[in-house]
Amino acid sequence: MVALMTMTVSGVASAGENPPGQSDAHLYVGAGLGMTHLSTEFANAKRSLITDTPPSGSVFAGVYLSPHISIEASATVADSAAVGQDRRVIGDYAYRDYGVSALAYLYRQEDGKPRSGPSAREGLSAFARLGAGYKDPESALASREARHRHLTAGFGAEYGWSGGVGARAEVTFMDNDARQLRVSLLKRFEMGAPAFGARKNANAGGLPEQIWSNRFYIRFPTLYFSDNDPRSPLGREAQRRLDELAKQLLRAPGLEIEVRGHADSLGSLREGLSLSRRRAITVSRYLQSKGIRGNRLHIRAYGNSDPVLSPDGQPAPARNRRVDFAIFSPHARKMAARK
């Protein structure tokens, strides 16, 4: 009968939710090194382990089937532990273990921000594991009972950073034979994502609100201004939304966007154009302060020429004092300039 405690440091790959209509299957792989605590009963009661903390290594691969479920296959190899009898070393004990498990993410840290790709798993999450395995001792000293199929259960926590990097700590139980503690480093990837997709935003003239670009899910916010004072600073909520947009744009370095300023119809056309341009410039400068290059941001002032209407068909001032965003199209820009 074997009981083991393993601490493993690994490297892994994965991703999160797709836009509507897309598969959520994302691949991850990993490898690790660690230490294993062993205690075993041999067929000969006079035999015992002299060293019970041999080093171990593991490799594993899996796929996220949904935001809360993944399937993982793993292989663990424990190095030799010395076996003694009558105060002398008579051999060693080592094993290999192969398993397949399902991981259920019971908790995922939510902040209300739409995420996908590797960023979908940023923050803290907790999971439970259930599966089956097969332990194969590599020792002539092992008893027949030590070579068997077993159930695997466990629980753990995972923390993800940007770019698909994360860390995992977990405890795994293999029937009565093994208790495994593993700490892993993670790196996530995704597969089968579309190059581009969009969802319309009915609150901002039908512009794309969310896009799937460069294998990342990007949300374009609409920012509203409470008054027509050109000196009004960006509010905290606007800054929070722009911070999130900047993070996503940094992950899609080839994407260029239009920063579109708008104004209500309370002033003259000239005043509206000036005010809307100031708003777009303010937003553009804030994004540049977060690391977005200025040549990726194309300012365009609409004044009050593209109003959002209220249910009665009249312009709604509070909804038209805004800045929104669109994918930059050089061809569309040239056509607009000719008009």
Is residue 271 domain-resident?
Answer: yes
> For position 270, which CATH number holds?
3.30.1330.60
Quick: pLDDT tens for 105-164. 998 775 444 444 444 577 899 999 999 998 877 766 665 455 578 889 999 999 888 777
Question: Looking at the 3D structure of the chain, how many domains does it have?
Answer: 2
Is residue 270 domain-resident?
Answer: yes
Q: Are residues 125 and 224 in the same domain?
A: no
Phi, psi of 234 (to 5 degrees): -70, 135
Q: Are residues 144 and 170 in the same domain?
A: yes
Q: Determine the structural domain holding residue 323 and report its residue range.
A: 198-338
CA 332/CA 209 separation, integer angstroms? 19
Last residue of a domain, one of 129, 155, 187: 187
* Residues found in the chain: 339
Quick: pLDDT tens for 293-313. 999 999 999 998 888 877 766
Contact 26, 202 (CB under 8 A): no
pLDDT for res 161 = 83
Q: Are residues 84 and 160 in the same domain?
A: yes
CA 332/CA 239 separation, integer angstroms? 29
What is the spatial order of strands in the sheet that 198-200 belongs to? 198-200, 208-213, 216-219
Per-residue pLDDT for 332 more than 60? Answer: no
Last residue of a domain, one of 187, 220, 238: 187
pLDDT for res 329 = 65
Q: Are residues 202 and 173 in the same domain?
A: no
pLDDT for res 197 = 42
Global confidence as pTM: 0.52
Highest mean pLDDT among 44-58, 228-242, 310-324: 228-242
Last residue of a domain, one of 159, 187, 215: 187
Stretch 4-14: mean pLDDT:
40
Cα Rg of the chain (Å, integer): 29
Q: Are residues 47 and 127 in the same domain?
A: yes
Is residue 193 domain-resident?
Answer: no
> For position 42, which CATH number holds?
2.40.160
User: Is 304 in a helix, a strand, or coil?
Assistant: coil
The torsion angle over the Cα atoms of residues 117, 120, 122 and 127, rounded to 10 degrees, is -120
Quick: pLDDT tens for 15-44. 333 333 333 447 888 888 887 776 666 667
